[in-house]
Amino acid sequence: MHDYKVPSGLFLNFVADEWNGTWGDGARDFTGDFYVEMAKDLERAKFDYVLI
């Protein structure tokens, strides 16, 4: 029996918000907090990698 570990990962993407549309939020600065929190949560869940 082999001790083979299946790697676990998550694929994320970054999309710029609409600047002047109905649902636009271009005036707010992008801080990246979502991605930092997501990385912390995935590390706690023992994920091997995150691709952005």
**Three-state SS letters, the chain:** CCCCCCCCEEECCCCCCCCCCCCCCCCCCCCCHHHHHHHHHHHHCCCCEEEC
pLDDT confidence of residue 27: 60
pLDDT confidence of residue 46: 92
CB 12 within 8 A of CB 51: yes
Name the amino acid, one letter, at 4: Y
pLDDT confidence of residue 2: 76
pLDDT confidence of residue 12: 87
pLDDT confidence of residue 40: 94
pLDDT confidence of residue 35: 87
pLDDT per position as a tens digit, 7-50: 899 898 877 767 677 776 666 677 788 889 999 999 999 999 88
Residue 40 CB partners (closer than 8 Å, separation 6+): none
